[in-house]
Structure 1
Amino acid sequence: MPETKPFAYCDQLVKQFEAVIQKPIPGRSSFYYTGVDLGTACVVLTVLDDSRKPVAGAYRYADVVRDGMVVDYLGAIQIVRELKAQLEQQLGVELEYAAAAIPPGTDLLDAGAIKHVIQGAGFEVTALLDEPTAANAVLQISNGAIVDIGGGTTGISILKDGKVVYVADEATGGTHFSLVIAGAYQMSFSEADCFKRDPAHHQELLPLLRPVIDKVASIINHHVVGHEVKELYLVGGTCCLSGMETIIEQKTGIATYKPSNPLFVTPLGIALNCTQEAM
């Protein structure tokens, strides 16, 4: 079974963040830490106070990143800039410093682009880390594999005694779910994307999406070979699909768990890695 304390902390932090998205808490901090998560399907900004508690947050579904790569540079800057301005107005302060994250193993390909987007939006970048490692700042797992299933990619980070010993990333994620739904239901891609986000449709969609979930499981199986992985911890917006953790556990033979809302785990972990010093 998973350790209860990390999941308790994770779920409490996410619950606090969900609350401040609706009702920000201004004026209670001398300094703010911001996390910017440029996801394939969703851009999320998280703001923590000087005691590392959530005070504000905002997100927007967008198509500026594909398979972990920035494809609409100016569009990405504009979205981050607008969300930054929104949060600054809510808090009554200027947000100066931000951390960001990239899919594991892609630092040579896209780290510079991600950093330039954050800087172009008006932030000083203080940290740039891989997404599953960011997630572990919230999950606080000592042993096992964190599987971050986003819109475009599945990232895997294997931990042993609290240290990352292996990272990998492959192009399968929520985008592929939406493409299957669009084809089956004769919808546009954007309509399919919205359709899959509604939990009322999840039971209906699970059999249809089984081949893609099986593909994610095969990616996991490939990368855990040679490592003693006894638990998988799922994060990322795609993992919001009810029941997919059960299928992944069946296909991998590894105990599989996910927090109550996997969408905001990585964004909060990014903010927890923000500091007061630019890179």
Structure 2
Amino acid sequence: TCLLDEPTAANNLLKIENGAVVDIGGGTTGISILKDGKVIHVVDEPTGGTHFSLVISGAYKMPFKEADKFKRDNKNHKEILPMLRPVVEKVSSIINNQIKNYDVNEISLVGGTCCLTGIEEIIERQTKIYTHKPKNPMFVTPLGIALSCTQDIIE
């Protein structure tokens, strides 16, 4: 059995050689910094999608579960992005604090929370580092974990 942090698992699929993989999940933001394909720094910070849902819940005075569902609907993203900007900026600050001592010139976003339309632009503006996300970023980490398990079985 092996332990693998989520952003590193995601990189099994992304194949980033140099840069940072940032997994913005439900409760945490995980960051793996890679150099020459090797993980050189890993951290998990307690800020994630739950915080986004709490902001929506408070702003619209709706139950948390309803706010979480509202957040996931792409047609609401343009409306909610301005109110979520401070939380996205907090995530950006977490990223900046973790990458400041490393030569990072690319940030790859994964995880369900980064499905929020426009999140990559805010993070790129705040970090001043090229930031992108793959199509369907919520599937990257689970697929990376599956690939990791498959590699362990094959080897």
Could you say which TM-score interval applies, normalised by the shorter chain?
A: over 0.9
User: Which residue does the alignment assign to 2:40?
Assistant: 165
Corresponding residue SS for 2:4? strand
* 2:62 is the counterpart of 1:178: no
* 2:94 is the counterpart of 1:219: yes
User: Which residue does the alignment assign to 2:10?
Assistant: 135
User: Which residue does the alignment assign to 2:76?
Assistant: 201
Across the aligned residues of Structure 1 and Structure 2, the Cα RMSD in angstroms comes to: 1.0
Larger radius of gyration: 1
Q: CA deviation at 1:128?
A: 2.4
Higher relative contact order (Cα pairs below 8 Å, separated by 6+ residues): 2
The answer to whether the Cα contact below 8 Å between 1:127 and 1:273 also exists between their aligned partners in 2 is no
Code of the residue aligned with 1:202 in structure 2: it is H
Code of the residue aligned with 1:222 in structure 2: it is N
C-alpha distance in structure 1 between counterparts of 2:103 and 2:25, whole Å: 24
C-alpha distance in structure 1 between counterparts of 2:90 and 2:107, whole Å: 16
* 2:139 is the counterpart of 1:264: yes
Give the paired residue count: 152
Paired-residue identity, %: 68
Structure 1: which 5+ runs fail to align? 1-125
User: Of residues 85, 106, 110 in structure 2, which corresponds to 1:231?
Assistant: 106
Corresponding residue SS for 1:233? strand
C-alpha distance in structure 2 between counterparts of 1:194 and 1:141, whole Å: 31
C-alpha distance in structure 2 between counterparts of 1:206 and 1:248, whole Å: 13
C-alpha distance in structure 2 between counterparts of 1:145 and 1:128, whole Å: 19
C-alpha distance in structure 1 between counterparts of 2:92 and 2:122, whole Å: 8
C-alpha distance in structure 2 between counterparts of 1:268 and 1:260, whole Å: 13
Structure 2: which 5+ runs fail to align? none
User: Which residue does the alignment assign to 1:112?
Assistant: none
User: Which residue does the alignment assign to 1:48?
Assistant: none
C-alpha distance in structure 2 between counterparts of 1:173 and 1:246, whole Å: 17
Q: How does 1:72-83 map to 2 (within 5 A)?
A: none
C-alpha distance in structure 1 between counterparts of 2:104 and 2:153, whole Å: 35
Deviation string for 1:201-238 (max 9, x for gaps)? 00001001000000000000000011010010000000
Of Structure 1 and Structure 2, the greater strand share is in 1
User: Which residue does the alignment assign to 1:273?
Assistant: 148
Of Structure 1 and Structure 2, the greater helix share is in 2
Q: CA deviation at 1:276?
A: 2.9
Deviation string for 1:6-59 (max 9, x for gaps)? xxxxxxxxxxxxxxxxxxxxxxxxxxxxxxxxxxxxxxxxxxxxxxxxxxxxxx
User: Of residues 130, 147, 152 in structure 2, which corresponds to 1:255?
Assistant: 130
Deviation string for 1:254-275 (max 9, x for gaps)? 1101001100000000000113
The answer to whether the Cα contact below 8 Å between 1:249 and 1:255 also exists between their aligned partners in 2 is yes
Code of the residue aligned with 1:216 in structure 2: it is V
User: Which residue does the alignment assign to 1:37?
Assistant: none
Would you identify which runs of 4 or more consecutive aligned residues in structure 1 move more than 4 Å?
A: none
* 2:30 is the counterpart of 1:155: yes
Code of the residue aligned with 1:276 in structure 2: it is I
TM-score (norm 2): 0.96
